[in-house]
Amino acid sequence: MKSNWNYPTTVWVGENRVNDLVNACLILKIKKPLFVTDKNLINLHFIKKIISETEKKINKLNIFSNFTGNPTGKNVEDGVKEFKNYSCDGVVAVGGGSALDVGKAIAFMSGQTRPIWDFEDIDDYWKRADENDIAPIIAVPTTAGTGSETGRASAIINERTGVKKIIFHPKFLPSIVILDPVLTIDLSPRLTAATGMDALAHNLEAFCSPGFHPMADGISIQGMKLIKKSLLKAVKNGKDLSARSDLLAAASMGSTAFQKGLGAIHSLSHPINAQFNLHHGLSNAIFMPYVLSFNKNIIQDKIISICDYLGLNKNFESFLEWILNLREELNIPHKLSDVIDPDKIDLEKLSEMAFNDPSTAGNPVNLKKDDLKKMYEHSLIGDLF
C-alpha cells in the first residue's frame, strides 16, 4: 500500500518509501543537506545504506551525529555550526525522537540570532523568530513513538538548569515526512514497547485534554485503536510490516493530536528524563495509570464514550485494566522505584519542575505542585489513586 497524506504536512507512506528520499530533496530544492542521526544509529547497516544511496545522487551530503537520547542545547549548537560550516541548505533527520528533535532544531536555529531558549513554548515566544532563513526539513522516523516528524516543537534539555524545555515554532514542522515500516523492523521488542507506549500517551492525553478540538479527538481515538490492535503484534513479531505501519501512523497521529494539549503524564516524565536520562516512552508508560486514576473523576465519561470503539467493556475500570495488562505484557515496570533508586530522587525539586512544565496546563484536573508530588509518591510505591 502506498498513499500520500497532506495533513498536517506532506507524508509519504509505505514500504521502501525511503527510496524516495532524494526525490524529496529535489522537491524542496535541497542540494546540500545536513544528514542528522544520533551516534547510536550512524554505524547501523540500514543507515549506512540510506547515506550511500543518497550520496549517489547528492554529492554534498554532510553528516551530524554527535548526540544521543535526551538531546541538549549544546547538541543543537554543534549541529548549527556544522550546518553553517558546510553551507547546508536543508536538513534530513533520520532516527528516533532525539534525531528528529535535533534535526528540526538545527534547521530552525540556522536562521536565528537569539539563543534557543528564547523560543520556549510559552505565550507567543515563537513570534520572536526570524522566519526568513529557516531551512527546510525532511523527517524519516525509525521508531514509532514520539511522532516528532509531525510535530511543531523539539524537546531539548537546558544543560545549565537540567530542565527539559519544549522549543516551539510552526516551521519546526517538516515539509516532507517519510513513514517506511521497513526501517523499524529491527527495533528491539523493548524499544518497540517503550516507543509504542509513548505514542499511546500522546493520543490518550490529547483526547483527555480539555478544550474543543474534535479533529484532534478523532485522530487520537483512532491512534489508540491502532496501538491496541498492533503494539503487541509488533513486539512479538518485529517483521510484521502491517503492525509496524499501524504504529508509525499512530505515532504521527499522536503528535498531530497533541496540538490540543498533553497533561501530567508528560509533566512527570520530562523532569525524570532530564535528571536521570530515562527513556521518555518508558517513563510515560510508568506514569500512565497513576495519572489516569488521579484524573478519573473528570475524564471517566470521556473514557467510557470510546470503550465500545476500542473493544472494551463500557466503564472506566475496563480501560484502566487494559492499560495495566498491556504494560505487564510489555514488561513495563509498574513502579518508578523499579528503574530509579528512590534515595536519589528529590521529590520537591522534581515536583517543582513538573509543575512548571508546559504540559501541566493541558491536564484535565487543574494541578498544584502538591498534586504532582503525590503522583510521584504513588508511582514510587505502586499505589493507584
Amino acid at 370: D
Res 5 pLDDT > 80: no
pLDDT for 184-237, tens place per residue? Answer: 999 999 999 999 999 999 999 999 999 899 999 999 999 999 999 999 999 999
pTM of the model as a whole: 0.94
Spell out the domain ranges in the chain.
Answer: 3-183, 187-381
| Cα-Cα end-to-end distance for the chain | 44
Give the per-residue pLDDT at 245.
Answer: 98
Give the per-residue pLDDT at 249.
Answer: 97
In which band, very low, low, confident or very high, does the pLDDT at 318 lie, cut at 50, 70 and 90? very high
Give the per-residue pLDDT at 60.
Answer: 87
Residue-averaged pLDDT of the chain:
96
Architecture of the domain defined by 187-381 = Up-down Bundle (1.20)
Q: What average pLDDT score do residues 259-279 get?
A: 95
Higher pLDDT, 1 or 233: 233
Cell of 193: 514497547
Amino acid at 124: D
The C-alpha cell 500512565 sits at 288
In which band, very low, low, confident or very high, does the pLDDT at 273 lie, cut at 50, 70 and 90? very high
* Domain 3-183 CATH class label: alpha beta
Give the per-residue pLDDT at 134.
Answer: 95
Q: What average pLDDT score do residues 331-348 get?
A: 97
Give the per-residue pLDDT at 68.
Answer: 83
Q: What average pLDDT score do residues 302-320 get?
A: 98
What size, in residues, is the chain?
Answer: 385
**Which three-class secondary structure state does DSSP give residue 320?**
helix
The answer to whether the beta carbons of residues 232 and 315 sit under 8 Å apart is no
